[in-house]
Structure 1
Amino acid sequence: MRLKTINLKEPLHTELVSCVGWASSDDVFSAGDDHVIHRWNLVSGDTAKVTDLPADFHPTDMHWIPKAGVAGGGKKGGVADSFLITSAEGKLQLVGKGGRLEKPVDAHRGACLTGRWSWDGAGIVTAGEDGAVKIWSRSGMLRSTLTNQGSPVYSLSWSPDSQQILFSTGTNLTIKPLAPNSKPIVWKAHDGLILCCDWSASNGRIISGGEDCKYKVWDSFGRQLFSSSAHEYPITSISWSTDGELFAMGSYNTLRLCDKIGWSHSLDKPSTGSIFKISWSPDGTQVAGGCGNGQVIFAHVIEKRLEWKDYEATVTGRKTIALRNVTNESTENLEFRDRIIQTSLSHDHLVVATTSQCYIYTTKNWNTPTIIDLKEGSVFLMMQASKHFLVVEATAVYIYSYEGRLLASPKWAGMRPDALSKQTVSISIDCLAIRDQTDDKQVHLFDTSTGKPLNDGKPYLHKHEVVEIALDQTGLPNERKLAIVDKNRDLYLTNVRKFGKTNTTGKLGAMIQSLCWSQDCNMLVAVQDSKVTVWYYPNVIFVDRNLLARTLVEKDSTEFGKHAVVGSFVNNSIGIRRADGSLVATGIPPYPAILHQYVRSGHWENATKICRFVKETTLWACLAGMALAAKQLNTAEIAYTNLQEADKVYYIQYIRELPLKEVRAAEMSVLSGNYQDAEATLLQSGLIFRGILLNIYLHNWERALDLAVKHRTHVDTVLAYRIKYLERCDKEEKNKQYLQYMNEVEVDWDKINEKIEHEIQKERDNRPQRTSTQKPAAH
């Protein structure tokens, strides 16, 4: 991937260009010290003067109102309502559509160095030489002075939720919340004066550059993720792309394209002087820069490479894609009428979005694609599943089938599609998961076939802020799992669809940097602090938590280095991107995937055979969990036997001999640790005695007595077991409820044993034709 730079014409500006901004994906506005605002159209190549600025107005920064903040924004071919310009004379100027100048606002003493709209378009923040950071209304009315620093503030940016401000003073970066009396986060970021910074709305990371000639990447806590080597000249401009996957850096005669981790994709050396401002197009494919020699430099991203099994697709130009089959070296060249915005290659389909249409190719036929007309013509993100794919535009989210049929367009409160990223969106064959943009603890879940919310419209609520989400790709809809990485970098697994009262969330690991589900079976890989971990059967955490450590493998991550990212997990091959940009492949044995395939198709004998053939503990542990989840008692008994889990083998044998299937199902839930589900199963089946006995064995004494009193049965049985328990523990009764019923109810073990025998006989009478007369055993 690299930037291809172009200069459309000779310089229109006679002085340096201090600021640039994108009105739409094809229109760029620029302003400089010659007091003129020019408009550039990248499709036609036309340029025009928009308006003249006052002679005493020297622009320092420009920012267009985000589409999310424009009423009715995002219409194809439309231009945003207005943009702001700050000046060296301390003024804030709002410019309307067509170049109409509003009344200027005296914003700062000395130069007003920078200004930015909030992401929702509801407010403006400015900073200047006087060290003040001020918040303004949309119309330019002063709301508050956020802070007063002792030195000039050269750059600032809004947080993704528009509730915090990042700004630079000297060698420090500061994150200041808008809430009063909130403590700011301050850290020394550079050894020289910081000239530029930016905060991505999509990935939440911060970039900065300064006079120490370095650019650096930070997380939202101020922890350094990457530091470049020193350049020849100071870093004068830096900016994130819309999707947060790339950022561009400008210096003297230097334009560099970087990955979000920090490593460099490409380096260009245009003869432009210093690049004072860099701005990305709304679709994240083009860059414009204001230069010291009066030029406006333009560049677009090319040579983006995609891989899927035997196929490789490379974006070779603005409107062309080269395809190659690596097995037989056959090639195809695809040409499009409009400029390419987004591409995605997965699940045997290539999806290409241009400025007006979406093309769907299958790997079996590259000649006749299915074509869809886009609603807005500005695609921010595309993701694929096996049966359909997701398209995210500026104001809406769409799910299409590979036949080109619109399946759904999910909506939720406070939706901001332009802020979505690959980390906050995940799609599977039957479910779409999206992290809420206003509350990072919530994850919205939708049915992909209808677009309706799951679980009665209630989003999943996590206890901490969610950083990354991922849905598994295979299996039945009612078994769909969502992997969640929260702000503490802990990894959790939860059921997408809620059934019963089971605790549906379990913790898999900690210190997670990146994760990815296998596309062929439900295995999960993650890069942890010092290792790469593969969970062969993550669902075991809901079946038998004790098996979790035996169903995973860990590899030393020394060869991958720090800040490695999992790029793909197909078949038994895992692709990992190192912090220096190199792609490293590592593999796992093929047997876990084969085991998943046998179990998914119901071939339990073959699953047992492959475990016996391989003779590995991890496979037996996976088979034990899978059999327990599917209630295959014979297979589970064999697997636990090979794991030398004698207690569970005996318990499975006991379960097999129970008279009623409802009781067996409840005992299976007990074996999995799902006690609430076990009780619910028994009570729904009318087996009140079994429900009471379950709580007695679990020492849930209050619940056992409540059930007995509510159903008016076996109160004396509960009291008898309670007395025996207290005698064995040498304790006195202190529970008021038990003391009350002990004074009212007579405890006679002969009558109690007779009642218990009567309950067991009732179960025998209702059982299928079997021969066992074994009594309930203690858990």
Structure 2
Amino acid sequence: KFHLIGRSGRIEKSVEAHKGAVLCGRWSYDGTALVTAGEDGQVKIWSRSGMLRSTLTQNSIPVYNVSWGPDSDQVLFTNGRQLVIKPLQANAKPIMWKAHDGIVLCVDWNTVNNLILSGAEDKRYKVWDTYGRQLYCSSSHEYPITAVSWTPGGELFGVGSFNTLRLCDRSGWSYALEKPNTGSIFHLAWSSDGTQVAGACGNGHVIFANVIDSRLEWKNYEATVTGSKQIQVRNVMNDALEKLDFRDRVIKVALGYGHLVVATSSQCYIYSTKNWNTPMIFDLKEGSVTLIKQAEKHFLLVDGTGVYVFSYDGRLVCSPRYQGMKADILNHQTIALSNDTVAIRDKSDEKVVYVFDAQTGKTMGDGKPITHKVEVMDIGLDQCGITAERRITMIDKNRDLFITSVRLFGAERKIIKLANMIQAHVWNDETNMLSAMTDGKILVWYYPNAVYVDKDLLPKTLYEKDSSEFGKNPQLVDFVGSHLILRRAEGSLVSTSISPYPSVLHSHIMASRWDDAVRLCRFVKENNLWACLAAMATYAKDLNTAEVAYAAIQEADKVQFILNIKEIPVKEARNAEMALLCGNQQDAEAILLQAGLTFRAIMLNLQLYNWDRALELAVKHKTHVDTVLAFRQRFLGRFDKPETNKRFLQYKEGIEINWENINNKIEMEHQKERERPSGGGETSALRTQAGRGRGGAS
């Protein structure tokens, strides 16, 4: 039987639940249901008042442990050597796999990282994903594993055995091992902030343990939590030590961007790396901070009630929120922060990413969230540049990496794929370089924005490095300056460097020092640097630099196109042609129409063989309808094809096609452009098109 006990400690109800002992019982995360498992092999679901809702399964052997799925719609339970995930729906098919060589004694399923832990009589603990794929298997212990438990945030887990308590990283490797004289530890339970763990022991005692010695690194600083209320900071440049004492227990620590942020159970402390003596301090509404994210200008705190953005002087900037937000299950993969943007992946619909203004907390752009085709597992934001050019990256369930713009008004969103089979990705803290870890390789895009400029340039801006020297399955931790920080499979941190020149090139471009950028590329003589400069110059519409850079990487066609653009007399038309070079046909047309260059907009669509749109513009603006029909007729004549388009047949009936008149009208348009105040060159790129028209007429 099991007992329902009120807050006062009084037994309110006792329920006969199973034949034989009740071996395990757990409340669902929303508190509306209870699952029990017993020696009779049954798994039962109960209401919060103790009424039986359903018998989920009937096994021939005892079920030793159960755990709820993150959404409380599935139950994980043991079945001898197997693990079974059973949905609550009546006809749903369970997922079952062999997990251990001995009877599985304990399981746990984390709500945040969606990973599964198991321990068994084969003396091993293992980490699984929800498809039954093994992510980690421990070495054999002396005794069976009797307890496993995730921290609420899913970053660590505890393992209990006979006279053994082990603290492990989510990847599986062990942080620490203690040998208390307690007998077997049968159950582990974490505090809500993930800093303390309690264990039910075989000798009748309850053991308590604190997590200490967690260490953070940033540039030349190293911060270590040496006690539950103390942090030691070391400057490795001069070996100077600072001991920071706190009134309450330290819960979360973050170090980056020149600041150390410490959240205790009641207050938040903000230290500058330039001054460790006088921190900024403010009180916390709720004592269980689950996450701290930093950017250059501000940082973000997450607790059970919401998400809060603070400046480094302790001022609350905003609190972004959307309907149905579950702040307590956010982690580093599902929330991202930059100087002007906060991005949060929705838990109820994992294809949706909400984007907020970091200054106001309001949704950005047209107010609609970013919706991907597949569930999103990991998100990131670039850290530099202006808000209008902010980019967000996403790794989906298929492990494909995508990039898209944060701000969008009216236009259709372009979500562009960068790579596949990506395990993790990190943006650089100083420049908009992007690093990613794939199978056996580290990838670094020196200028990922090239995908919006010239897709052909993107592979040329990519740097690849073999990761085999870092052992099997290294993890990408951070990307600071020109250094990548990785964690080996056994837990040690290592760093590797990339070329410092892309970072210098970025700084030149941000300061608009184009001549210095060209000199740098000529000095280094590397194609990937020239490719970056070509993309940067094209994006910034600096034609002279773009011409030099494209010439350096042997892109003769692009050089010729840029030379043609430079001869166009009208500034707006040049901008439209640059948009066309970047592949933005709609933007090019919009620029021309906004500037009143209707003829160029029509000719643009004709050059792209977008006949319907060209005719639509001509009819709408009541100009050059005969020009569109003439070019269409010439195009069909080349292939000896009859006209089948109903709209062209309709307008063809009442209009006579006279190439001499058409060429005169085209020449008049060119004359108008030359007379515009923004005039410049002598000839137009469209004159070639007109010349071809005369040739076609003859």
Deviations 1:107-131 (A, max 9, x none): 3343332222222333333333333
**Corresponding position of 1:370:** 280
Deviations 1:660-695 (A, max 9, x none): 221111111110011111122222222222222222
Deviation at 1:657, TM superposition (A): 1.4
Where in structure 2 are the equivalents of 1:167-182 lying within 5 Å?
167-182=77-92
Deviation at 1:489, TM superposition (A): 0.5
Give the residue type in structure 1 aligned to 2:58. N
Distance 1:766 1:315, change over 3 A: same
Deviation at 1:773, TM superposition (A): 2.1
Residue 548 of structure 1, aligned match among 458, 462, 465: 458
State whether residues 158 and 165 of structure 1, in contact with CA within 8 Å, keep that contact through their aligned partners in structure 2: yes
Give the residue type in structure 2 aligned to 1:238. V
For 2:64 and 2:142, the matched residues in 1 are separated by 21
**Corresponding position of 1:586:** 496
**Corresponding position of 2:51:** 141
Deviation at 1:499, TM superposition (A): 4.1
**Corresponding position of 1:627:** 537
State whether residues 570 and 680 of structure 2, in contact with CA within 8 Å, keep that contact through their aligned partners in structure 1: no
**Corresponding position of 1:38:** none
Deviations 1:623-656 (A, max 9, x none): 0111111111111110000011011101111111
**Corresponding position of 1:96:** 6
For 2:302 and 2:163, the matched residues in 1 are separated by 35
* Greater mean deviation of Cα atoms: 767-776 or 440-449: 767-776
State whether residues 550 and 621 of structure 1, in contact with CA within 8 Å, keep that contact through their aligned partners in structure 2: yes
Distance 1:177 1:657, change over 3 A: farther
Distance 1:743 1:180, change over 3 A: farther
Pair 1:442 & 2:348 matched: no
1:734 counterpart SS class: coil
For 2:92 and 2:573, the matched residues in 1 are separated by 56
1:596 counterpart SS class: helix
For 2:319 and 2:61, the matched residues in 1 are separated by 49
Residue 475 of structure 1, aligned match among 372, 385, 407: 385
Distance 1:735 1:114, change over 3 A: farther
Distance 1:139 1:658, change over 3 A: farther
**Corresponding position of 1:567:** 477
Give the residue type in structure 1 aligned to 2:478. S
Pair 1:649 & 2:556 matched: no
State whether residues 24 and 64 of structure 2, in contact with CA within 8 Å, keep that contact through their aligned partners in structure 1: yes
Give the residue type in structure 1 aligned to 2:45. I
State whether residues 115 and 128 of structure 2, in contact with CA within 8 Å, keep that contact through their aligned partners in structure 1: yes
Deviation at 1:587, TM superposition (A): 0.6
Residue 186 of structure 1, aligned match among 78, 96, 103: 96
Residue 222 of structure 1, aligned match among 132, 135, 152: 132
Deviation at 1:236, TM superposition (A): 0.9
Deviation at 1:503, TM superposition (A): 4.4
Deviation at 1:500, TM superposition (A): 5.3
TM-score by length of 2: 0.95
Pair 1:270 & 2:159 matched: no
State whether residues 519 and 570 of structure 1, in contact with CA within 8 Å, keep that contact through their aligned partners in structure 2: yes
Deviation at 1:775, TM superposition (A): 4.1
**Corresponding position of 1:284:** 194
Segments of structure 1 that go 5 or more residues without pairing to the other structure are 1-90
Residue 758 of structure 1, aligned match among 660, 663, 668: 668
**Corresponding position of 1:425:** 335
Pair 1:533 & 2:443 matched: yes
Pair 1:396 & 2:313 matched: no
Residue 111 of structure 2, aligned match among 198, 201, 206: 201
Deviation at 1:368, TM superposition (A): 1.1
State whether residues 571 and 678 of structure 2, in contact with CA within 8 Å, keep that contact through their aligned partners in structure 1: no
Distance 1:653 1:576, change over 3 A: same
**Corresponding position of 1:67:** none
**Corresponding position of 1:511:** 421
State whether residues 161 and 437 of structure 1, in contact with CA within 8 Å, keep that contact through their aligned partners in structure 2: no
Where in structure 2 are the equivalents of 1:607-756 lying within 5 Å?
607-756=517-666
For 2:198 and 2:30, the matched residues in 1 are separated by 23
For 1:486 and 1:453, the matched residues in 2 are separated by 22
Pair 1:326 & 2:236 matched: yes
State whether residues 513 and 563 of structure 1, in contact with CA within 8 Å, keep that contact through their aligned partners in structure 2: no
For 1:739 and 1:153, the matched residues in 2 are separated by 76
Deviation at 1:543, TM superposition (A): 0.9
Where in structure 2 are the equivalents of 1:70-81 lying within 5 Å?
none
**Corresponding position of 2:270:** 360
State whether residues 231 and 243 of structure 2, in contact with CA within 8 Å, keep that contact through their aligned partners in structure 1: yes
**Corresponding position of 2:210:** 300
**Corresponding position of 2:376:** 466
**Corresponding position of 2:31:** 121
Distance 1:234 1:602, change over 3 A: same
Distance 1:668 1:139, change over 3 A: farther
Deviation at 1:707, TM superposition (A): 2.3
**Corresponding position of 1:773:** 683
Residue 335 of structure 1, aligned match among 225, 240, 245: 245
Deviation at 1:767, TM superposition (A): 4.6
State whether residues 424 and 434 of structure 1, in contact with CA within 8 Å, keep that contact through their aligned partners in structure 2: yes
1:157 counterpart SS class: strand
Deviations 1:745-771 (A, max 9, x none): 333222222222222222222153434
For 1:563 and 1:730, the matched residues in 2 are separated by 60
Shift >4 Å, 4+ stretches: none
Deviations 1:280-328 (A, max 9, x none): 1100111111010001111110011111111111111111111111111
**Corresponding position of 1:256:** 166
For 1:703 and 1:141, the matched residues in 2 are separated by 66
Which structure exhibits the higher relative contact order, with contacts defined as CA atoms closer than 8 Å and separated by 6 or more residues?
Answer: 1
Deviation at 1:529, TM superposition (A): 1.3
Deviations 1:28-66 (A, max 9, x none): xxxxxxxxxxxxxxxxxxxxxxxxxxxxxxxxxxxxxxx
Give the residue type in structure 1 aligned to 2:474. A
**Corresponding position of 2:696:** none
1:513 counterpart SS class: strand
For 1:184 and 1:92, the matched residues in 2 are separated by 27
1:165 counterpart SS class: strand
Deviation at 1:165, TM superposition (A): 2.4
Residue 367 of structure 2, aligned match among 457, 464, 488: 457
**Corresponding position of 2:430:** 520
State whether residues 398 and 410 of structure 1, in contact with CA within 8 Å, keep that contact through their aligned partners in structure 2: yes
Aligned length, in residue pairs: 689
State whether residues 504 and 542 of structure 1, in contact with CA within 8 Å, keep that contact through their aligned partners in structure 2: no
Deviation at 1:360, TM superposition (A): 0.9
State whether residues 571 and 679 of structure 2, in contact with CA within 8 Å, keep that contact through their aligned partners in structure 1: no
For 2:382 and 2:53, the matched residues in 1 are separated by 46
For 2:128 and 2:191, the matched residues in 1 are separated by 23
